[in-house]
Chain A
Amino acid sequence: MTDLLRGLLVRLRAILHPRAADQDLDDEIRFHLDQETARYLAQGLSDDEARRRAMVAFGGVQQTRETHREVRGSRLVEEVIGDARFAFRALGRSPGLASAAVVTLALGVGAITAIFSAVNAVMLRPLPFAEPERLVMLWEESAEREWVRVSASPANFLDWREQVSGLEAAAAYAEFNDRITLLDEKGPQLLSSALVTGDFFDVLGVRAQVGRGFRAEETWRRASPVVVLSDRAWRTKFGGDPGVVGRMVDLDGRRVEVIGVMAAGFAFPWEDVDAWRPFDWNVDAGNHASFRRAHWLRVIGRLAPGVTIEQAGQQLATVAGRLREQYPETNATLGAGMTPLREFLVGDTRKPLLILLGAVTLLLLISCANVGNLLLVQAGNRAREVSVRLALGAGRMRLVRQAVTESLVLSFLGGAAGLLVGALGTRLLAAMLPAGILRVSDFGMDWRVLAFVLLIVTVSGLLFGMAPALWNAGRQPAEALREGGRSGGQGQRSRRWGSALVVAEVALALLLTVGAGLLVRSFIELRRVDPGFEPDGVVTVSLVLPEARYDSAPKIHAFYDQLVERVSALPGISDAAVVRQLPLGRPSWSSGFAVAGRPVTAASQAVDVVHREISPEYFRTLRVPLLRGRQFTRADGQGSEPVVIINEALARAQFRGQDPVGQRVSYDREPDSTSNWYTIVGVVGSEHQQSPAQAPLMEIFSPLHQESMRGMVLVARTTGDPATAAPAIHRIVADLDPTLAIRSTQTLNEVAARSVALQRFLMTLLVAFAAVGATLAVVGVYGVLAQVVRQRTREMGIRIALGAGTGDVQWLVVRHGLVLAAVGLAIGAAVALVATRAVRGILYGVPAADPITFAVAASLLGLTVLAASWLPARRASRADPAVALRSE
């Protein structure tokens, strides 16, 4: 082994110190020749003769040196260095061209670097957990209810954990962010907390940096509540004091012991998590029907060593089948499944990211084509040099290598600049990215990004270097000399290459423009959707009342009644109300639904409705129209008849041809003897609960005064600027309860904008990429036409001399540009018809093959090409016949 290593060192030294190796060899040869000469002298030969014989016996000294160098591998290195040096000199001779190429490449490489950084952070970088490949996400599903990957009920989760032997362990977390109020000397602050099982940290394989994580038994209710802090919360709210462990803090009015701080960088299940708390379930909770009925747990399993996800998945399906028979009342339609945790977390972001990656790849290809074109022009200008070298016997391979080295040098310069652009772009991207869309907020560069950039830089260097290289190599010296003899001459072949590149550029640019256009159209359609309410002028303030001090319905109702009353009385506020959840936000809770007097069937059991609690003024405040019946009033309270209002979507789907008002319905649990029945008193227009792209769900509203929800959102319609109303509302909240923390304040328009933030983000990026791509393509067209005009100056001059009009000559050039554009557009359109299928999934209200978008994109590009042809055309028409003819 050491011998091999030593051999390697010898090789390395020979390459790194070629001169020392040469010196060594020369010394050796001199010694050899001296010895040999001495031998001949000893045989009695004369000095000269002895030396001559020695030389003959040795063979060629120079040849030995060459062969020695070849063995050492330094000849190749020397040539490559020579090529690179030559390339730098050549680029230095045409700084304009070099910088144009570098800037073009920097744009292409920078864009792809930034997007790839995001792809890397979300899809490639390993999850920050121990052995993440063994982690899986488990979920429930129901074909009948159209449930896909829904969260699990606690009882089902516990059964899975017991019975699926392929799982080494399984933990769960609540899928909702449980906002809790931390009260200390700095006043009330709201923490984002996750409810988890006691073995949550163990299953993920993460440790506390101070103190400890939870123990498995802490899932269940105990005398003293505990909390674990995230590194972020520990630093920002507790000053990074290690002494915080063991301290009692006031959380939601309860004394809770801080037992640990998790390591920095661990932010799961969401980025802004401040604290984790155990579920605190009652041991006898399993007896409650809701423990199996309500679905709100995300379940993470760790596969046992050697068990595949397919095996564990089959076991899970078997267990789910058993539970279906065991608990028909709750599980009749339920199945279960699992997927790798990463796959689940990447989820919906995969498609947008891949679309962006596709777009920047197109952009990079356009930049490559453009640089290829520039190099072709340069090759044309150097035709004479090349032909002389060819005629003098330079090897063709040598010329190809020379050209490729030149383009590699160029692409590495461009790549370095692109890395800078990419670093900036990554920041820009992080700043532009709507919060909560990607799982990670930090997508800095790492070795994967650098390796990727190195790869694409090399590939693009080879790509755009190939055209001029092959063109040069394929030339016959005679042809080359003939052409080179003419001033600025460039052959037909070169022009064909250039035209092909430009056609490709136009086609790629059309692809990008069509993609961007489709997203723009889709976004316009989205913004046109009537959300079912009037968001203008409405300000919203989210609140959570701590359980410890608001432990009964009357206390909660009293607080919200006063809040609504005092906010309504503020000047500049016309209406105010509270609602459990804003429309166009995250989907609300859903449950089964039944109508009194109708038989329970499989179909009726599969119906899912969402439900929200509201104060009576809600519909008036948001301007949701009342279609039938009445609104809630203060009289709809505890002790009076339970009432609900349904939305139009529900009325239409479940009460076709009937008057729903007066009918009695049940929801939130399966209908049985103990069901609560509610009388429908009104029908209102449907709001889009999730996003404008998703049709309104069937929904039931119940009066806050017949329920008791601690977390509500105040909505207030202002007559002026909604943002200015916020401070006055905050003062009222502080006045009502100074220990309350406000969760968030935003206008309803901001909420609405957020529901289409991803679409806006994608659209903005694609439009930017398309603009850059189109610009590059047009520059490419211009470059080729300018070259054509330069080459044909003589022809133009003759035409003018023979009486051709300015218009004729201009048309000649413009026609050339138009032909290129038309071919490019035709190819691009054909490809786009297929390629736009990739974006079909994210379009709203626009078909992927939308003829309007195609037409607009094509004519926009066509017109810009026309404009780009104009300048060279004008120059051509100004060709002075005398000058043109004399120049030959």
Chain B
Amino acid sequence: MSVRNIIENVLLGLSPAGVPQRRLRVVAKAASYGVLVRDSGTVFTTRGAAGSVVFTLPALADSANCHYWFVAVPDENMTVASAEGNNMIASGDVAASSVAYATANEKTGGVFYVVNDGTQWLVFPHLANEGQAITIV
């Protein structure tokens, strides 16, 4: 395969060999982590964590259009927090500082999808169960 073929495949969204690439980057974090701009598009899980995990988002001004997924795996608190505070839109709160799955027996399976629209962090919760609680601060 020529370099030209490889480039064409990549520009078409295919692998270098021409196979469709629709795969997400998945990274497990067992301890708290400062999310980076270059992590945009990543699915973070808390797999392996033995205690609370806090994901701190990058500075709002530096991360327009960035987006991240967060998945609570073990029955441990998972928090997603903004770096500056008071700039997340969550349920009933247009100026939240953090969102979390932190209620006993309601943590595993909780998901947050977070998007920086250039002004704030938009929080899309994906509940594992209709009774799952989200803690908003």
Determine if chain A interacts with chain B. Answer: no
Q: Taking beta carbons and an 8 Å cutoff, which residues of B are in contact with A?
A: none
